Amino acid sequence: MITGTTRLIGHLGFPTESFKAPLIYNPYFERDGIDAVVVPMGCRSEDYPDFLKLFFRLSNAHGALVTMPHKVTTTGLVDTLSPTAAIAGACNAVRLEPDGRLAGDMFDGEGFVRGVLRKGRKLTGARALVVGAGGVGSAIAASLAKAGVGELGLFDTQGPAAEELGRRLVAHYPALRVTTGSSDPAGFDIVVNATPLGMKPGDPLPLDVTRLPSSALVGEVVMAQEITPFLAAARARGCSVQVGTDMLFEQIPAYLEFFGLPTTTAEDLRAVARLG
């Protein structure tokens, strides 16, 4: 039931046809009697800077979920930016502060990290390799650094992307050891495919799976299928795996906390979601 007291969370992006967030948040809000609603709002890039400011002038605007193609643009539109969002160079959540300022954060990487921790893996001092230094890879790397990993290996087919990400990480986490230029997973505790490879049939694997240590946890961001060819190959090596949708569901509790709303678990959200 939407009433005059309902807090509005805009889901801002374009186009909106593939948006899943309302099908996860709203059933949860309804079940637990939380007076809030997530509404898809299709906003084209040329209109977005003005629209974001106007949205938060609504008296019942509580926050915004930001998706493609606006995550990068948003970093320059908010008043304060978390270190994670600054490192990632992208922002997917905006909150209205009591003083009227807009605070931005990034939770793609937080979802990945929470999934790893809930599987019983220790991240403090661990060695992690992130293959792909685009938006999602940068967010995961930033959250791994925040979680206390001791070493981060970064690789991207566009070499300068990994090097630039490494510079941003070290600026915020001077004690972190960062290496770039190699996708060899040997010796790493956590290995992440943060590239689009695996979305289409016939895609090559993102790295040489014969070099994966059997003790590694191997994570995926591709959600086209639960067990991608990369994860299947990692499993065959004896590795534990984390599927792409874990990142989606694990980040929602972090969003809820950011927005000051009652939180829950990823399992509960999976159970209540109406994704069909």
Give the active site residues: 71
DSSP state of 66: E
Q: Report whether 272 contacts 27 (CB < 8 A).
A: yes
Distances (CA, A) of 173 to 47, 69, 169, 181: 36, 28, 6, 20
Helix ranges, 147-243 (H) = 159-172, 229-236
Burial tier of 45 (Cβ tally within 10 Å: 0-12, 13-18, 19+): exposed
**180 DSSP β-pair partners:** 154
- Please check whether residue 53 is in contact with residue 75, taking contact to mean a CB–CB distance below 8 angstroms: no
Q: Return the CA Rg of the chain.
A: 19
State the Cα torsion 92-93-94-97 to the nearest 10°: -150
Bridge partners, residue 7, by sequence: 36
Measured CA to CA, the distance from residue 25 to residue 63 in angstroms comes to 13
